[in-house]
Amino acid sequence: MRVFDFTHAIAREPGRSVVDGLRDNPANTPTYEGVLAQHRAYIAALREAGVTVDLLPPLEAFPDSVFVEDPALTFPQGAILMRPGAPSRVGEREDMRRVLHRHFDTVLELEDHEHADGGDILVTPHTVFIGLSKRTTRIGAEALAAHLSTLGRESRIVEAPQGVLHLKTASSLLSEDTVLAMEQMIPGSIFAGFKILTPPAGEEAAANSLRINDVIFVGDCYPGTIKLLEKNGFNVRPLPVDEVAKLDAGFSCMSLRW
Ligand code: CIR
């Protein structure tokens, strides 16, 4: 199953408050103009790849709301309203609920104490990996697994690696049987059965790439990874991401796709 064939996406323009977004290193402050420009390039690339994008207006009250991947999960069969693990992000659910009901007949929801971020969910052809992290709790992961089963998806709860925000900070799906993953994910890998490519030293953050139909979005600041993917026959679309990365974010987090 090609789980990276998409016709639709939801994205949200960054607000000016994006400069106050959560980040591990408080000194890493992006500019609004920088994030906006990189977001626009990303939306243009999604559209060029054949995806119809519902571009939502900014939510100034929620600095991280441009990262629409975290409060929801979308599949052709239906959507799941997640419950982000960061207290400042839980309120993003309200507007997202309304948006999901506009696009889907079936919308399942995580309850009060069930925390999970979309960034911890890696969809592969046979398994949806749910990463336990600072944002995704076991209770949240188990509730999510039950919802995924309702939507016909098998899932597996795994540990996201230490030191990264989300499971998908450290890994992404390149094809039905290939992943791009940080070196630290390889020992005792959850990806047994997959071919694993590893970004070269110094380009670890390139592991958050994004396959959209026949192209792979990769940061234009990662020449070694671009070369590696091209050598392996992938059609790479380099895009600017350094301002967005200051907020511990990458390509997958800026859209919901189905
Ligand atoms: C946060 O800490 O929630 C945001 N600054 C970054 C979210 C990145 N989300 C993602 O990769 N799915």
Q: Give the closest residue (by CA) to ligand 1 atom 1.
A: 22
CA of 67 to the centre of ligand 1 (A): 6
Output the CA torsion sign for 157, 222, 37, 235: negative
**Ligand 1, from 74, 88, 210, 253: best to mutate by most atoms within 8 Å of Cβ?**
253
Lowest mean pLDDT among 57-66, 146-155, 178-187, 240-249: 178-187
Mean of per-residue pLDDT scores for the chain: 97
Ligand 1 neighbours by CB, cut-off 6 Å: 21-23, 64, 67, 69-70, 86, 89, 118-119, 165-166, 168, 247-250, 252-253
**6-53 confidence digits (pLDDT tens):** 999 999 999 999 999 999 999 999 999 999 999 999 999 999 999 999
CA of 231 to the centre of ligand 1 (A): 30
Question: Token pair of 49, please?
Answer: 């790849």
Mean pLDDT of 82-103: 98
Model pTM?
A: 0.97
- Alpha-carbon dihedral 34, 27, 136, 113, rounded to 10 degrees: -100
Output the CA torsion sign for 246, 253, 15, 90: negative
Mention every residue, 6+ apart, whose C-beta is less than 8 A from residue 114.
83, 137, 139, 140, 143, 144
What span, in angstroms and rounded, lies between the C-alpha atoms of 250 and 240?
Answer: 10
Amino acid present at 197 = L
Q: Do residues 2 and 176 lie in contact, with contact meaning Cβ atoms separated by under 8 Å?
A: yes
What span, in angstroms and rounded, lies between the C-alpha atoms of 158 and 155?
Answer: 10
Q: Measured at the alpha carbon of residue 81, what is the angle toward residues 179 and 158, in degrees to the nearest 5?
A: 35
